[in-house]
């Protein structure tokens, strides 16, 4: 769940994959030859897709507009025309067309329409991105006559996604700015794993806040400082494994140090614990290839600013000592261990018994705890480009 993100393959590759999968699925459903003497067989059915399932797919394609997607990307008109041409009986051509459209829609519901998520500094990997699993799911849904229900099940079930969808439906079409931002954030939610875990830490970068979630409920909230525009905080999901009291700090290569107040460790300068240590008194470690973690800071002034994008990428946490104590206590330990450990400047690592997922995400429209919609900053100016990408038409090869 917490592995680094995977590279996208582009929409052309996706469309080719969808078409190829449609052919594979047809082959998988072909009746194998019988051994022994020839046996009279009833006439082959016109196609796997019933007219009812075909119409259900067409209806769901129309409904995808409510998810911020473009129904034109899934060729509902061509499907309806082919169904009518066949006299409502479907057939092999309709099967191929329906397979391609349904697989594309299933992909976009489950994983989002945008393939190159890394272009938006989004590196949250998914364990359910195997196209063969989608093909198998579609095959089962067609056989059971539950195509539309199966497609709907692929969408995010999070209440925040539902709230954004409702807001999108209620926002007048003439309000292009808000509808565009809602559409971008619906897409980002489709990039998210379907389960965040009942116990986790959730940081939405544009909100400049951290939520500590226990058993699905926010039990604490902290103001944070996030990466500056030049050094943005990436969207990642990794597990917090330990709380480090009085940490050492190794500056990233982007920060030049003079050597004063630092200790040389081979070719690297390190800053020992102390009142001026850049990480403050606490570091919450979540090992990852991006070298991002949560930490305290000796410079508190930035917590008072309304827009708080000033760090080199890591998350600076206001009242980090309290967060550390909360984490240790929720992990079954004693917060006294944190209090005691902070009486000196000796480095101490408190390993968590249960690793806690930490989600660093980017939603410029969010939902507050009271259910109210909250339009936020776009500190890294990503919405305009994402909206433009969602508006590009897609040509789906269906034959």
DSSP result, 64-75: GGGGT--GGGGT
* 3-class DSSP assignment, residue 234: coil
Pair 295, 279: CB distance under 8 Å:
yes
Residue 196 CA to its chain's centroid (Å): 10
CA 195 to chain CA mean position, Å = 10
Write the Ramachandran bin of 291: left for phi over 0, alpha for psi from -120 to 50, otherwise beta.
left
The span from the CA of 275 to the CA of 297, in Å, is 10
Give me the count of residues in the chain.
399
* 316 within 8 A of 298, measured Cβ to Cβ: no
Q: Which two tokens stand for residue 71?
A: 């129904």
Catalytic residue positions?
A: 295, 314
Contact (Cβ atoms closer than 8 angstroms) between residue 4 and residue 291: no
d(Cα 337, Cα 334) in Å, to the nearest integer?
6
């Amino acid at each position: 769940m917490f592995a680094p993100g995977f590279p996208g393959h582009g929409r052309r590759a996706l469309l080719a994959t969808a078409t190829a999968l449609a052919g594979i699925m047809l082959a998988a459903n072909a009746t194998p030859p019988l051994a022994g003497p020839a046996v009279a067989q009833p006439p082959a059915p016109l196609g796997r897709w019933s007219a009812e399932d075909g119409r259900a797919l067409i209806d769901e394609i129309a409904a995808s507009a409510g998810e911020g997607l473009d129904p034109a990307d899934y060729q509902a008109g061509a499907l309806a025309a082919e169904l009518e041409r066949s006299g409502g009986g479907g057939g092999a051509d309709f099967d191929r067309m329906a397979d391609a459209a349904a697989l594309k829609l299933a992909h976009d519901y489950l994983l989002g329409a945008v393939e190159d998520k890394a272009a938006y500094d989004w590196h949250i990997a998914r364990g359910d991105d195997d196209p063969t699993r989608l093909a198998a799911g579609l095959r089962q849904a067609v056989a059971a006559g539950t195509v539309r229900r199966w497609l709907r099940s692929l969408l995010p079930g999070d209440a925040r996604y539902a709230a954004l969808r409702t807001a999108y439906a209620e926002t007048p079409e003439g309000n292009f700015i808000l509808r565009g931002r809602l559409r971008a954030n619906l897409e980002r939610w489709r990039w998210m794993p379907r389960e965040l875990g009942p116990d986790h830490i959730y940081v939405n970068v544009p909100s400049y806040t951290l939520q500590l979630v226990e058993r699905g409920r926010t039990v604490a909230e902290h103001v944070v400082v996030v990466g500056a525009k030049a050094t943005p905080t990436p969207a990642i999901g990794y597990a917090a494994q330990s709380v480090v009291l009085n940490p050492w700090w190794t500056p990233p290569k982007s920060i030049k140090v003079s050597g004063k107040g630092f200790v040389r460790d081979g070719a690297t300068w390190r800053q020992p614990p102390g009142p001026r240590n850049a990480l403050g008194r606490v570091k919450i470690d979540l090992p990852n290839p991006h070298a991002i973690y949560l930490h305290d800071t000796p410079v508190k002034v930035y917590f008072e600013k309304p827009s708080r994008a000033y760090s080199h990428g890591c998350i600076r946490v206001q009242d980090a000592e309290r967060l550390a104590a909360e984490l240790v206590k929720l992990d079954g330990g004693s917060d006294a261990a944190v209090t005691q450990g902070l009486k000196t400047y000796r480095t101490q690592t408190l390993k968590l018994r249960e690793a806690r997922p930490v989600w660093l995400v980017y939603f410029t429209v969010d939902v507050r705890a009271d259910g109210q919609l909250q339009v936020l900053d776009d500190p890294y100016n990503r919405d305009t480009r994402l909206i433009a990408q969602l508006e590009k038409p897609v040509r789906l090869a269906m034959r």
